[in-house]
Amino acid sequence: MTWDYFAWLQLQTCDSLENTPVVWALAGGFVDHVSKCLLEAEIERLEAERTNNREKKRQAEQQKTRLRRDYMTKASFRFPIGLYPCLQPDFSTLPSATWLALQVDFELLTPWYSKDDRVFHLLDNPVRKDRVFGVPFMAASSWKGMLRWACRMQAGLREHLEQHNGRLDDWHDPDWILHLFGHEKGEEEHQKLRQGALVFYPTWFDRMGFEVINPHSRERRAGTHPIYYEVVPPGANGTLSLLYAPWPGMKPAAKPEEVLPKLLEAIEALLTTYGISAKRTVGWGTAGIKKWRAFHKTGGNVKKDDRTALWREVQNWLPRRGTP
């Protein structure tokens, strides 16, 4: 894989930045440079505010707005289609007949957002991107946490929270959840922690866009200070990839024919109902499922439009017994 998002951005450099000599040595060079220009404009604005120079303050604010607009104009586009096959895991040669790989293709119906941990950025809320190539992605650890939560909701977590004033006191994951996800860090410290049977992979998205939240003043009923979010917009495509890989002697033991239907149901609920994004309480991160795919060593692979049809095929691949 040689395509580099930030290097591509550099070639699309905005007019307001064209005359500035910059060494584009790093993948994040473009963003670093624009962020540096924004910081310089903010310093000028603060200095003008201190000296009560209204004209200089106005010019600095205009420069900040122009830099944001330039970045958002150039960064909002669809990534090359050829980039994505090389980012997907290859499940064509699974080593064991007890293993099963699943992929769920989906299309976002509402914006997706997860805050990047990049320290230096011209926006307050940049979307999470790969550090090397700059492509927006959802981490495997995020998938594991959200899907575990969806399985817990399926196992009765909502009723438990209602009975315990919203607290997780005395909640214990049933064996089928422990079988899939293992113990959480810090959980059951007096017991031996066990790894789950699921292996998760990151999801890469094929486009990037922006959302603006504009809080209004109660007195003036007008916008006060727009809040910019770099997001993966509705219509973007992604793929959830995971591997069910139990091993001999695994505890707690479980029957795949009992565990996997619950997992498939939880995946559907997570994507279509709960959402997979930050700000899920306002509806962000919901998606429509386009295809369900499964891979097996001897069964080959199958592609279906709904999980029920997929399960009818998958259950023929599984041994009728507990995990060895």
DSSP 191-235: S---B-SEEE--EE-SB-EEEEE--B-TTT-SB---EEEEEBPTT
pLDDT at 5: 52
Q: Which helix (H) or strand (E) holds 49?
A: helix 29-50
pLDDT at 163: 77
Please, which residues bridge with residue 127 across strands? Answer: 115
**What's the predicted TM-score (pTM) here?**
0.79
Regions in the chain scoring below 70 on pLDDT = 1-30, 76-86, 185-192, 215-218, 220-224, 320-324
Report which DSSP code applies to 187: S
3-state SS class at 289: strand
- Residue of 144, 89, 106 whose CA lies nearest to 285: 106
- Residue of 322, 318, 284 whose CA lies nearest to 298: 318
pLDDT at 157: 79
- What span, in angstroms and rounded, lies between the C-alpha atoms of 110 and 223? 23
DSSP 83-100: GSGGGS---TT-S-TT-E
- Residue of 159, 157, 161 whose CA lies nearest to 174: 157
pLDDT at 24: 39
What's the length of the chain?
Answer: 324
Q: How many other C-beta atoms are found inside a 10 Å radius of the C-beta of residue 210?
A: 19
Task: Tell me which residue has tokens 């009723």.
Answer: 159
Q: How many other C-beta atoms are found inside a 10 Å radius of the C-beta of residue 49?
A: 13
With contact defined as beta carbons under 8 Å apart, do 143 and 200 qualify? yes
For 266, phi then psi, to 5°, come to -65, -40
- What span, in angstroms and rounded, lies between the C-alpha atoms of 210 and 231? 5
Instruction: Count Cβ neighbours within 10 Å for each residue of 75-107 and write b for 16 or more, e otherwise.
Output: beeebeeebbeebeeebeebeeebbbbbbbbbe
221: left (phi over 0), alpha (psi -120 to 50) or beta: left
Residue type, 254: A
Sign of CA dihedral 101, 106, 108, 109: negative
Start-to-end C-alpha separation, the chain: 39
298: left (phi over 0), alpha (psi -120 to 50) or beta: alpha
Q: Where are the domains of the chain?
A: 1-75, 86-317
Record the tokens describing residue 62, joined without a space.
């205009």
Percentage of the chain exceeding pLDDT 90: 30
- What span, in angstroms and rounded, lies between the C-alpha atoms of 131 and 74? 19
Q: Which helix (H) or strand (E) holds 56?
A: helix 54-75
